[in-house]
Amino acid sequence: MVPLIDPFARAISYLRVSVTDRCDFRCSYCMSENMTFLPKADLLSLEELDRLCTAFVGMGVQKLRITGGEPLVRKGILTFFEAMSRHLQSGALSELTLTTNGSQLAKFAAPLAALGIRRVNVSLDTLDPAKFAQITRWGRLPQVLDGIEAAKAAGLRVKINAVALKGFNEDELFYLIDWCAANDHDLTFIEVMPMGEDMGEGLRLDQYWPLKDLRARLAQQYTLTDLAERTGGPARYVRLEETGQKIGFITPLTHNFCESCNRVRLTCTGQLFMCLGQEDMADLRAPLRASPDEAPLEQAIRAAIARKPKGHDFDYSRQHVTGKMTRHMSHTGG
């Protein structure tokens, strides 16, 4: 089948799929505490998610990342991973992976590894139990640390994703790095993004810790070497020469990575977002539900990719946040 190529000659080989908007945590930068979730009837069934993902795989998507909300709280999620693993076995997918808060990993790590998952991204912003409870509101650190242990024991490679938050985890920077080195986890820092309408701009700007400042602080203690490696996404990597560790930086606001963008995002209601930083989306649920025939669905996907914009326009440079997105990361899938 003809691969998905957008108008800027970028091949779309990476699909991120949010399988639920629900979560067992309420991270303050991601959700409000009394978050209203979507009616269950709006969500795609696991069979519908399978059809959609399979259509993308048929059109050249090689990497599938399952996210949410918290993907591992979706009922029957293992059945879905099992279904997707057939595309690993056929060789169509080169990677099937997930981003999780880690709360359910103690239960799921071994079965996921058995299905061919090799790596998992675990979001963890602090190693201090009290601060962890504060930032996630409903999360408890020991549960996540147990989950990470289980992932390691199952042979999964763990990457820790930490949102850089000013006045919150600044003082843990070196501790986090040492802890990841000691446990052989990769580590990536994420710049906080202005997502969600009901959290107020004040909170966003207050918490904004530019990764260039984080990097400058790292450089006081380590020799940093920029690595050429790119993933088609917003991550850039440096090596800490003293320890050999590779540290990632995801800076969607301060770096332009759009020219090499290879990804699109599917929400749990079947909306396809062609760019994390733009409101435009295509509804794939309607063609999916309209007919058991795959042709209209494929056509809708191709039409959406033909609208993929050149880039996004977040901007923190002014006193107020411009280019702010009104949807939550838990909706689009971070």
Give the interface with ligand SF4 as residue ranges (CB under 6 A). 23, 25-27, 30-31, 68-70, 101, 123, 330
Q: Are 164 and 189 in contact (CB under 8 A)?
A: yes
Of the pair 29, 132, the CB lying nearest ligand SAM is at 29
Nearer to ligand SAM by Cβ, of 276 and 300: the residue is 276
Angle at which helix 105-114 crosses helix 77-89, to 10 degrees, equals 30
By C-beta, is 86 or 327 nearer to ligand SAM? 327
CB of 262 or CB of 330, closer to ligand SAM: 330
Q: The tokens of 13 are what?
A: 């080989």
Select from ligand SF4, ligand SAM, none the partner in contact with residue 234, using the beta carbon and a kind-dependent cut-off of 5 to 8 Å.
Answer: none
Q: What does 19 bind: ligand SF4, ligand SAM, none (CB cut-off 5 to 8 Å by kind)? A: none
Shortest Å distance, C-beta 2 to ligand SAM: 31
Q: Of the two residues 85 and 143, which places its CB atom closer to ligand SF4 in the complex?
A: 143
Rounded least distance, CB 113 to ligand SF4, Å? 21
148 binding partner (options ligand SF4, ligand SAM, none; Cβ < 5 to 8 Å by kind): none
**Residue with the shortest CB distance to ligand SAM:** 334
Considering beta carbons, is residue 297 or 328 the nearer one to ligand SAM? 328
**CA-closest candidate to residue 297, choices 333, 272, 265:** 272
Binding residues vs ligand SAM (CB under 6 A): 23, 29-30, 67-68, 70, 99-101, 123, 161, 163, 190, 192-193, 195, 329-330, 334
Q: Give least dist CB 39 to ligand SAM, A.
A: 20
Given the complex with ligand SAM, which of 192 and 305 has the nearer CB atom? Answer: 192
The item of ligand SF4, ligand SAM, none sharing an interface with residue 161, based on CB under 5 to 8 Å by kind, is: ligand SAM
Taking the complex as a whole, the smallest distance from the CB of residue 295 to ligand SAM amounts, in Å, to: 32
* HSE-up of residue 209 (Cα within 13 Å, Cβ side): 20
Q: Please, what is the minimum distance in Å from the beta carbon of residue 264 to ligand SF4?
A: 19
- Closest to ligand SAM by CB, 253 or 305: 253
Partner interacting with residue 93 (select from ligand SF4, ligand SAM, none; CB below 5-8 Å by kind): none
Residue 272 interacts with which of ligand SF4, ligand SAM, none, CB < 5 to 8 Å by class: none
The 3 state secondary structure assigned to the chain is CCCCECCCCCECCEEEEECCCCCCCCCCCCCCCCCCCCCHHHCCCHHHHHHHHHHHHHCCCCEEEEECCCHHHCCCHHHHHHHHHHHHHCCCCCEEEEEECCCCHHHHHHHHHHCCCCEEEEECCCCCHHHHHHHHCCCCHHHHHHHHHHHHHCCCEEEEEEEEECCCCHHHHHHHHHHHHHHCCEEEEEECCCCCCCCCHHHHHHHECCHHHHHHHHHHHCCEEEECCCCCCCEEEEEECCCCCEEEEECCCCCCCHHHCCEEEECCCCEEECCCCCCCEEECHHHHHHCCCHHHHHHHHHHHHCCCCCCCCCECCCCCCECCCCCCHHHHCC
